[in-house]
Amino acid sequence: MSDLLARVLCATPLPALARARRRDALPVLMYHGVVERPLSPACWHQLPLDAFRRQMAWVARHHRVVPLAEGLARLEAGTLERGSLAITFDDGYRNVATTAAPVLAAHGMHATVFLVSDVTGTDEPLWPDRLYLAFARTAAAAVDAPDLGLVAAPLRTPRDRAAAYATSVRALKGLPLPEKEARLAALLAALRREGPEDPGEFRLLRWDEVEAMQRTGRFAFGGHSTRHEILARMPDGQVAAAIGRSHEAVAARTGTTPTVFAYPNGRAMDFDDRARAALDHLGVRYALATVEGFVRRGFDRLAVPRLSVGSDLSFARFRLLVSGALEALRGRR
């Protein structure tokens, strides 16, 4: 949908009608990071601060933000208040504390943050972010990695680099873990970025910052695996460990046993019965996916849908998405 059409639809009664129609559903917004200025090359999962401020001001006018676990429990019990909405952040970037948290505090909003436990508190970027930084900082004019969809791919402009990154990271996410590691290393070498990187805006929270955020009462935390590997691509013996160690680390550091977890990447193909069994064993009540949709009564508690918000989403399309107007236009319930 073009942004012009989205703005036209926002000027009609459609968004208000859509909100009224889905009064018994819970929208769960999925963010990652919030940055002071847009990154170059463009980065979908780091939202510029101005856009986040505008979105939260709109949410404050139209919704009641509730803690994620509370909202899901109320939905199951049939006691969810009309207009409720929950906010989540995946990965645990430090800019959630430094840049997003003041905006949330200004509106009295609560959010749930999902942490990648083995790299929280370190200067190590998550592997997709390490790859983004390699494309952003390489001196190479082109890169050739045919097995990842890159054939003499140009890297001269920010748009070139963004496209090459998107193509390669998508291909890498579809590979079994050992093969992904080998091909990632080869691509980083081709980009001449083999050593440690300053993570910049991709720096993750420190554990003391996690503890300080929790003390405000405006944040809750859950696991997001140990190293952000896609669970369905992992060997049998590693899935339960990646979930369990992440869950236990969050519990130990916050003093609160988490009842929520978020799958890395989170598409239906990215988690399986092994992950579900591990979560059930730990007593995790809800697991969050990235499958798009509103949460409704009778939802699968270990495949909770969300509404993804990235840097490519205009304000008009954000309003249509969160109001449920986009869902209505697509003919969904």
Q: What is the value of pTM for the model shown?
A: 0.96
Mean pLDDT of 248-261: 96
Rounded alpha-carbon distances, angstroms, from residue 322 to 28, 68, 100 = 9, 16, 19
Mean pLDDT value of segment 182-193: 93
Average pLDDT over residues 244-269: 96
DSSP letters spanning 315-331: HHHHHHHHHTHHHHHTT
**332, pLDDT greater than 90:** no
pLDDT tens digits for range 13-50? 998 888 888 878 999 999 999 999 999 999 999 999 99
Structure tokens at 207: 């554990």
Could you give the dihedral angle defined by the CA atoms of residues 325, 328, 330 and 333, in that order, rounded to the nearest 10 degrees?
140
Query: Rounded to whole angstroms, how far apart are CA atoms 141 and 154?
Result: 6
Q: Which neighbouring-strand residues pair with 145?
A: 150
**pLDDT (tens digit, 9 = 90+) per residue, 128-158?**
999 999 999 999 999 999 999 999 999 999 9
Buried/exposed 209-242: b ≥16 CB within 10 Å, e otherwise: bbeebbeeebbbbbbbbbbbbbbbbbeeeebbeb
Cβ neighbour number for residue 56 with a 10 Å cutoff:
20
CATH value of 3-121+204-329 in 3.30.590.10, 3.40.50.150, 1.10.260.40, 3.20.20.370? 3.20.20.370
What distance in Å separates the CA atoms of residue 195 and residue 192, rounded to the nearest whole number? 9
Per-residue pLDDT band for 196 (boundaries 50, 70, 90) equals low
Q: Which residue has tokens 């199951």?
A: 76
At 330 the pLDDT is 82
Q: Which residues pair with 221 in a beta bridge?
A: 113
Instruction: Identify the CA nearest to 245 among candidates 231, 233, 288, 232.
Output: 231
Per the prediction, the chain carries an average pLDDT of 95
Average pLDDT over residues 87-97: 98
In single-letter form, the type of residue at position 223 comes to: G
DSSP element (H, E) containing 222:
strand 219-223
Query: Cα 98 vs. chain centroid, distance in angstroms?
Result: 17
| Alpha-carbon separation of residue 238 from 120, 226, 234, 235, 277 (angstroms) | 19, 10, 6, 6, 13
Tokens of 32: 């990652």
Token look-up 């436990």 returns: 117
Determine contact, residues 112/68, Cβ cutoff 8 Å. yes
Q: What percent of the chain has pLDDT over 90?
A: 90
Cα distance between residue 38 and residue 34, in whole Å = 9
Q: How far is Cα 299 from Cα 280, in angstroms, rounded to an integer? A: 16
pLDDT at 23: 75
